[in-house]
Amino acid sequence: LFILSFIHHIAEDEDHSDGVVANAAGLIGDLCTAFGKDVMKLVEVRPLINDLLTEGRRSKTNKTKTLATWATKELRKLKSQAWSETHTAHAHKHTLTLTCIRSYTH
């Protein structure tokens, strides 16, 4: 997504304003809501975006802090869903393997 590249560029700029951080955090949260796990994967390979969210959560401006916290929660939800789906699929595969082994041995 071009927008994430743009946000990454903002994060690289040490001279960004608090308002820019707030807007970037809002965009990240909106992208998570709209595109789900695809966005999470793209954010994970751009650590500066997480740094930008950390900066936003530490802001003295309530709007920035609120948006950065919300965006971070949206990312965590996606990570949690991805983890849960991966482990559920693995457990299901393991159960199928055991069922096949039991069927074969009995």
**pTM for the full model?**
0.76
- Domain chopping of the chain, boundaries: 2-79
**Phi/psi-derived region of residue 36, left when phi > 0, alpha when psi is between -120 and 50, beta in every other case:** left
Please give the pLDDT value at position 87. Answer: 60
pLDDT tens, position by position, 51-102: 999 999 999 999 999 999 999 999 999 999 876 766 655 555 656 565 656 6
The label of the residue with tokens 């457990």 reads 91
Residue 21: count of CB within 10 angstroms of its CB:
25
Helix (H, G, I), strand (E, B) or coil at 36: coil
